[in-house]
């Protein structure tokens, strides 16, 4: 298996010490942000680790205040940005049947760049994102292996601010599979009780699943099956204070060709320790009846962000 290219836990400690030393020089406005994420995923058979690092540059300084939740200021003040990210996921000790073989371990890398385009005097906003997915390495229990082809994803979103705190949007992702949908997002000001944000989204995916077929320890071809997926997503986030976010979300994916579904239940908390350092903890339970998956899972995520 390829070595990990992030030594995230040790790197997080070093970076946190650096960020804390910079805190005395920071104020409530910023024009750049840096984020680190680490997730541990437990399957019925095996586990996985997901690590990412991302950064954003904003087209104008972001001013945090009591008027909006800190973590949502850039969206509701219509502040444009440019972002880049890199991530890696590794699977270990898996026992998952893929085609005629048993998947044992593997790894994959992702790289992306995107921009959020908005102006305070225009109701229209948009985002563009390009993602490069490096080849995934499948290692099988019989000693064979397979590297899937690399691919790219082009994602575009177009939105409209109906009010300052209400927006509709539609999106489309060009890849194999193609994904498209629409959603609505609304922020409620509860006065002395804080803020409440709700989001509802529906989407559909036209998907072709590629299954490696191994014979005599050699991958000879890819079996391809087509299917459609329909997804619904709902999230509610409560901000008792502008520095604190408590989030619950639910996503249901229906695999239309098979009459099966996958359900995601998530909960999380984000807290600004200061005006410039944000810590997040999230938990996701995945309940799936889709045979071409790694099965039910529990995901524990830790994120650290710094605004400067």
- Would 120 be classed as within a structural domain? yes
What pLDDT, in 10s, does the model give residues 224-243?
Answer: 556 788 999 999 999 999 99
2 in any annotated domain: no
- Count of domains for the chain: 1
Can you give the three-state secondary structure of the chain, one letter per residue?
CCCCCCCHHHHHHHHHHHHHHHHHHCCCEEEEEEEEEEEEEEECCCEEEEEEEEEEEEEEEEECCCCCCHHHHHHHCCCCEEEEEEEEEEEECCCEEECCEEEEEEEEEEEEEEEEECCCCCCEEEEEEEEEECCCEEEECCCCEEECCCEEEEEEEEEEEEECCEEEEEEEEECCCEEEEEEEEEEEECHHHCEEEEEEEEEEEEEEEEEEEEECCEEEEEEEEEEEEEEEEEEEEEECCCCEEEEEEEEEEEECCCCEEEEEEEEEEEEECCCCEEEEEEEEEEEECCCCCCCCEEEEEEEEEEEC
CATH code of residue 38 = 2.40.160.60
User: Taking the model in full, what pTM does it have?
Assistant: 0.82
User: Which structural domain, as residue segments, surrounds residue 227?
Assistant: 8-307
User: For residue 4, is pLDDT > 50?
Assistant: no
Residue 3 lies in a domain: no
Question: Which tens digits make up the pLDDT trace of 249-307?
Answer: 999 999 877 778 899 999 999 999 988 999 999 999 999 866 556 778 999 999 999 99
- Tell me whether residue 93 is in a domain: yes
For 88-141, how does the pLDDT look when each residue is reduced to its tens digit (9 = 90+)? 999 998 887 777 778 888 999 999 999 999 999 999 999 999 999 998 888 888
């Amino acid at each position: 298996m390829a070595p990990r290219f992030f030594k995230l836990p040790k790197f997080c400690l070093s970076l946190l010490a650096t960020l804390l030393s910079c805190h005395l020089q920071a104020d409530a406005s910023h024009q750049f942000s840096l984020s680190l994420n680490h997730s541990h995923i437990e399957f019925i058979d095996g586990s996985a680790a997901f690590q990412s690092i991302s950064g954003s540059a904003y087209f104008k300084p972001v001013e945090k205040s009591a008027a909006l939740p800190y973590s949502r200021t850039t969206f509701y003040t219509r502040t444009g940005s440019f972002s880049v990210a890199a991530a890696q996921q590794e699977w270990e000790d898996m026992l998952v049947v893929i085609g005629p073989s048993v998947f044992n371990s593997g790894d994959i890398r992702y790289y992306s760049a995107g921009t959020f385009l908005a102006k305070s005097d225009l109701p229209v906003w948009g985002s563009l994102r390009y993602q490069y997915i490096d080849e995934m390495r499948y290692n099988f229990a019989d000693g064979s292996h397979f590297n899937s082809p690399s691919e790219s994803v082009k994602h575009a979103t177009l939105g409209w601010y109906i009010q300052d705190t209400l927006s509709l949007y539609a999106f489309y992702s060009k890849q194999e599979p193609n994904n498209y949908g629409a959603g609505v997002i609304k922020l409620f000001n509860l006065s002395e009780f804080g803020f409440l944000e709700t989001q509802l989204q529906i989407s559909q995916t036209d998907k072709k699943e590629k299954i490696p077929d191994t014979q005599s320890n050699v991958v000879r071809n890819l079996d391809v099956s087509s299917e459609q997926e329909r997804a619904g997503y709902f999230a509610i986030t409560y901000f008792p204070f502008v520095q604190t976010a408590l989030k619950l979300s639910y996503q249901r994916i229906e695999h239309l060709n098979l009459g099966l579904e996958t359900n995601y239940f998530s909960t999380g908390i984000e807290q600004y320790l200061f005006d410039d350092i944000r810590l997040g903890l999230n938990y996701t339970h995945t309940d799936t009846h889709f045979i071409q998956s790694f099965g039910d899972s529990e995901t524990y995520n830790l994120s650290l962000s710094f605004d400067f």
